[in-house]
Structure 1
Amino acid sequence: MGISGIRLGERNEEGLKSATSVLKQMYGERFQTGQAIRAQHAHTTTWVPPQLPDGVLFVESKDDVLSAVRIASEYRVPLIPFGTGSSLEGQVNAPSGGFSLDFSRMNRLLEVNVEDLDCTVEPGITREELNVQLRDTGLFFPIDPGANASIGGMTATRASGTNAVRYGTMKDNVLAVTAVTSDGEEIRTARRARKSSAGYDLTRLFVGSEGSLGVLTSITLRLQGIPEQIAGGYCSFPTVREACEAVIMTIQLGIPVARIELMNALQVRACNVYSGLSLPEAPSLFLEFHGSPASVKLQSEAFGEVATENGASGFVWSTNPEERARIWKARHDVYWSAKALRPGANAIATDVCVPISRLAECVSATEADIDAHGLIAPIVGHAGDGNFHVSLVIDDQDPVEVAGAEAFIARLNARALEMDGTCTGEHGIGQGKQEFLEGELGGSVEIMRRIKRSLDPLNIFNPGKIFALD
């Protein structure tokens, strides 16, 4: 039916009041409007100011999602899907108000097809929960963005992570989704076949859409066999450029690394302090190799030769699980270790991605920019993909520091685009990177707007994200 006279993107007070009354009556305690619970479902991870929803609905089934979408359409109010809240560019904010759909109770593993190496899950299951449940099958889901994110959130932001150099990103590992569209119906984008040329690729349209085209109710994923053996190690280099050159040579030689992560000297120092390590405080690479004992040994030795040729002080590697876990735990804690460099300050995480041949140039220029402006900003990267992250440690209550950080991020994105790269390799656009999207894709953004208007004519699905409709 709808409420007439409301412009797209405007806050609809009348509709919000009516929808709140309906949701309270339908869901009781599963629909919450308290200030604290609403604040938990606004964006709090980085400096994007939190914008609270008007209520939080804890959905437990696809029928709950269907009902919520139909109510939102009737009263013209926004819905913002919420997984774990680990997104970094304001994806879960509610700029026009509306209701957060919390998927933490839709966290079931629905089906596993061991012979076909795939499974189907509900959006709220986290990657760690999924791998615990898969362990007895001999399979695992390889995408590891660092945070224990939900599979729905990872799909919506087209997440990546440390294993992407070998196993790809979410776009490579999502076979199909089911989603509720604006007319309140559930669609399925594909079957479980490993390939298809049947019509438009709607699966990849939803992967990376940041909840702006519909609400996911299930995701079918590609799985991998748990490797027979895993070896991990690290090595240090005189400069970031030499570390990056070693990455480029490794990829060009076809050495099948599973992970190849870069840390600059400041980030290594932060990890040493925060995680109790004693690594050489120099630009370093952290690697992992998956396969049979013989292949892992050959891969490790081949990389050792590459590292030596590029000036490394030595490649230390081990198949001991405890030693590997300690190193990778430190890698996953880089956000917190960066914050610890300046107690009381905040860490603003941003990322870009460039063609692998331009990685050394881009990282070196970024380090020079950091030094020239006196910033505290450690660098870490999924170097095998040309993707790296900078954590700006600033007082986000100081307008001068905020302005300096914004100017740095603008220069970083311009640098990446000049090298035919992207303003975000895996964080997504959300609210935080909208100003760079037009510069990257030009007229393609208008095509995205047309798709959004077509599939979501009332603009109820996560409005204000990726681009402005006006």
Structure 2
Amino acid sequence: MSLAALQVPVERNEASTALVVDILTQKFGERCSRSQAVREQHGHTTTWLPNQAPDAVIFAESTEEVADVVRICAEHKVPVIPFGTGSSLEGHVNAPGGGISIDLSRMNRILAVNAEDLDCRIEAGVTRKQLNSYLRDTGLFFPIDPGADASLGGMAATRASGTNAVRYGTMKDAVLGLTVVTASGEVIKTGGRARKSSAGYDLTRLMVGSEGTLGIITELTVRLHGQPEAISGGVCPFPSIEAACQAVIATIQCGIPVARIELLDEQQVKACNIYSKLTLKETPTLFLEFHGSEASVKEQSELFGAIAEEYGGGPFDWATRAEERTNLWTARHDAYWASFTLRPGAKGVATDVCVPISRLAECVTETKQDIESKGLLATVVGHVGDGNFHVLVLVDEDNDEEVGKAEAFVERLNWRAIEMEGTCTGEHGVGQGKMKYLRKEHGGGVDMMAAIKRALDPDNILNPGKIVPMS
């Protein structure tokens, strides 16, 4: 698969890089890996872009160690690429100019839980499942849930979202404060534990979504929520994608406080049936969940059932048993991997967009027509309560014509979303794969982003070749 045109070249200094690798090897010993397999794993994970491996991987264990590595790299102008769990989809952890990957997975301590204030402080390598497991007996939970068991540092860096976003928001809403290592190796604190502040620039929001290009997040203070008294959820089939989307729009516009509302097209339902051993009707389907009191979740479920019926959907099968809901949402979170059962051995070309909720039905319907008219095999799944959906095109990477069709489709989808006053990415982030769409979406705002990058990272060592080109 040749997609090099999507990647921005970054100048490389072989002598300086070799010197830095030697210095770090002496300093960190076996925690500085030069193994080809380890390097490739840290340069390429679930992305469909070509692998660009770093020259070495450091397994850091503290903020001080991260700062030390960055100071050494800054002195010699060698790139530094932060790595959480490697679950991003747009080439965020590739190393186009080589350099050092800093793996933060060993920084996985939960430092403090302030139950009375509904917040906690954690290291960047803590994963969402780890945090919620720790919180289980406190009556609290952390709601942001991208499909993968991602690290909280990586989720903040990519401004991640998930199935709960329609009710609980995204990472930009969840993060109160950060500890960040800057391009010079200085350690700074942004934000705090106060729920609001008017004290100067909002550096926390600047770092959230910066994808490691402005600083490396090593600690976070995040908001928590009380576990709801009651939860109900279920599935509702529809005769068409348009009918399902119209039901979503009506549900949101009626003000029903749905916690999760997910769309799976007929191909994705088929894949989930195979992979997760479900027995759903293979037609466009909504997965839903409601949080609240026993009475309120019952009322919400009944109201949605009535809306679904208006659009030809149903029956809406809903249940309150935890094991049934767990099976349902595990299948939803495994949707990416399930898709490959439809074409074993295929490569997945993943993309996402987000549009105003009123344009959702139009955008998804046109996208499905585009897929079918070009003879592509793809699954559609989305957090449609906020207008966000994903497409995974399954291609034979050795078939140039097929790869070309997939590339052209992804481009049309992103242009379509932007023209509908939406965005080229609701939660994947920009990385390398979405850079070409930013100028269309933000215009001169891209120049402002580049100015901020130059001011905070004048030597362009922090995750270069991502978000905005510096040449």
Q: How far has the Cα of 1:14 moved from its partner?
A: 1.5
Does structure 2 retain, via aligned residues, the 8 Å contact 1:180–1:187? yes
Paired with 1:430 and 1:195, the residues of 2 have a C-alpha distance of 30
Does structure 2 retain, via aligned residues, the 8 Å contact 1:158–1:208? yes
Give deviations 1:85-118, integer Å, cap 9, x for gaps. 0000000000000011001110011111111100
Q: How far has the Cα of 1:13 moved from its partner?
A: 1.0
Q: How far has the Cα of 1:346 moved from its partner?
A: 1.4
Does structure 1 retain, via aligned residues, the 8 Å contact 2:261–2:286? yes
For 1:255-404, list aligned pairs within 5 A. 255-404=256-405
Alignment partner, residue 431 of structure 1:
432
Alignment partner, residue 53 of structure 1:
54
Does structure 2 retain, via aligned residues, the 8 Å contact 1:189–1:202? yes
Give deviations 1:237-266, integer Å, cap 9, x for gaps. 111111001101110111011000001111
Local SS of the residue matching 2:117: coil
Local SS of the residue matching 1:154: helix
Paired with 1:466 and 1:314, the residues of 2 have a C-alpha distance of 44
Local SS of the residue matching 1:349: strand
Local SS of the residue matching 2:452: helix
Local SS of the residue matching 1:189: strand
Local SS of the residue matching 1:220: strand
Moved more, 41-50 or 155-164: 41-50
Give deviations 1:267-303, integer Å, cap 9, x for gaps. 1111112211111111110000111111111111111
Alignment partner, residue 3 of structure 2:
none
Alignment RMSD: 1.0
Alignment partner, residue 6 of structure 2:
none
TM-score under structure 1 length normalisation: 0.97
Alignment partner, residue 211 of structure 1:
212
Does structure 2 retain, via aligned residues, the 8 Å contact 1:47–1:396? no
Moved more, 206-215 or 262-271: 262-271
Paired with 1:44 and 1:28, the residues of 2 have a C-alpha distance of 25
Local SS of the residue matching 1:377: strand
Alignment partner, residue 411 of structure 2:
410
In the alignment, structure 1 residue 467 sits paired with structure 2 residue 468: yes
Does structure 2 retain, via aligned residues, the 8 Å contact 1:237–1:284? yes
Does structure 2 retain, via aligned residues, the 8 Å contact 1:70–1:183? yes
Give deviations 1:99-147, integer Å, cap 9, x for gaps. 1100111001111111110011111010000111111211110000010
Alignment partner, residue 86 of structure 1:
87
Q: How far has the Cα of 1:183 moved from its partner?
A: 2.3
Does structure 2 retain, via aligned residues, the 8 Å contact 1:9–1:459? no
Alignment partner, residue 112 of structure 2:
111
Does structure 1 retain, via aligned residues, the 8 Å contact 2:305–2:314? no
Q: How far has the Cα of 1:313 moved from its partner?
A: 2.4
Q: How far has the Cα of 1:39 moved from its partner?
A: 1.2
Give deviations 1:377-413, integer Å, cap 9, x for gaps. 1110101010000110101222111111010001101
**One-letter amino acid matched to 1:455:** L
Paired with 1:303 and 1:171, the residues of 2 have a C-alpha distance of 29
In the alignment, structure 1 residue 132 sits paired with structure 2 residue 125: no
Paired with 1:327 and 1:34, the residues of 2 have a C-alpha distance of 39
Q: How far has the Cα of 1:154 moved from its partner?
A: 0.3
Give deviations 1:206-234, integer Å, cap 9, x for gaps. 00000000111111101001111111101
Alignment partner, residue 98 of structure 2:
97
Moved more, 252-261 or 131-140: 131-140
Local SS of the residue matching 2:258: coil
Paired with 2:103 and 2:184, the residues of 1 have a C-alpha distance of 21
**One-letter amino acid matched to 1:288:** E
Q: How far has the Cα of 1:9 moved from its partner?
A: 3.2
Where do 4+ consecutive residues of structure 1 move more than 2 Å?
A: none
Paired with 2:219 and 2:451, the residues of 1 have a C-alpha distance of 25
Local SS of the residue matching 1:340: helix
Paired with 1:347 and 1:9, the residues of 2 have a C-alpha distance of 26
Local SS of the residue matching 1:71: helix
Q: How far has the Cα of 1:46 moved from its partner?
A: 2.7
Paired with 1:464 and 1:397, the residues of 2 have a C-alpha distance of 26
Paired with 2:186 and 2:149, the residues of 1 have a C-alpha distance of 30
Does structure 1 retain, via aligned residues, the 8 Å contact 2:45–2:88? no
Paired with 1:46 and 1:64, the residues of 2 have a C-alpha distance of 28
Q: How far has the Cα of 1:311 moved from its partner?
A: 1.1
Q: How far has the Cα of 1:17 moved from its partner?
A: 1.3
For 1:163-202, list aligned pairs within 5 A. 163-202=164-203
Paired with 2:18 and 2:330, the residues of 1 have a C-alpha distance of 46
Does structure 1 retain, via aligned residues, the 8 Å contact 2:351–2:390? yes
Does structure 2 retain, via aligned residues, the 8 Å contact 1:178–1:217? yes
Moved more, 153-162 or 175-184: 175-184
Does structure 1 retain, via aligned residues, the 8 Å contact 2:48–2:350? no
Between the aligned residues of both structures, percent identity stands at: 63
In the alignment, structure 1 residue 21 sits paired with structure 2 residue 31: no
Paired with 2:217 and 2:262, the residues of 1 have a C-alpha distance of 31
Give deviations 1:151-180, integer Å, cap 9, x for gaps. 011000000010000000000100111101
Q: What residue ranges of structure 2 are gaps of 5+ in the alignment?
A: 1-8
Alignment partner, residue 145 of structure 1:
146
Local SS of the residue matching 1:143: coil
Local SS of the residue matching 1:92: coil
